[in-house]
Amino acid sequence: MAITYTWAITGLSRDTAGTVVKVHWKKTGTDENNVSAEFNQFIDFDNGDPSNDSYISFDSLTEADVVSWVQGRVTGRYETDINSNIEMQIQDYVDSAGVTEAAMPWVPEEEPPA
């Protein structure tokens, strides 16, 4: 199964100095049949230093900046596990095609309201 992954930032929290302290993000995987699944998470950040040359003020941040911070933390086994989770969700969706929920035969059907 070939999966294409995309990243998105879904929320930010900042402190009174304007430093980002929490990033909500999601990683979406889409297979060759356009079936998608996503993994949502957040990461706490506590190392913003306005005196650092690489510091970016809150008003100047781009999504690409923040995605790069997240990708810098989501690596190795953690990223492998996330990708596996997304792949499993896609496979579950594919496997359930044509399957519908069924009423349990021992439970009486509810009468519609009069």
The domain limits of the chain are: 3-93
Angle (CA) 7 8 13, round 5°: 135
pTM for the full predicted model: 0.80
With helix as H, strand as E and coil as C, how does 23-67 read? EEEEEEEEECCCCEEEEEEEEECCCCCCCCCCCCCHHHCCHHHHH
Predicted confidence (pLDDT) at residue 33 exceeds the cutoff of 70? yes
pLDDT single digits (tens) 44-72 = 987 667 777 778 888 889 999 999 999 99
Residues 30 and 93: their CA atoms lie apart, in Å, by: 12
Scanning the chain, the segments in alpha helix (DSSP H) are 63-73, 76-95
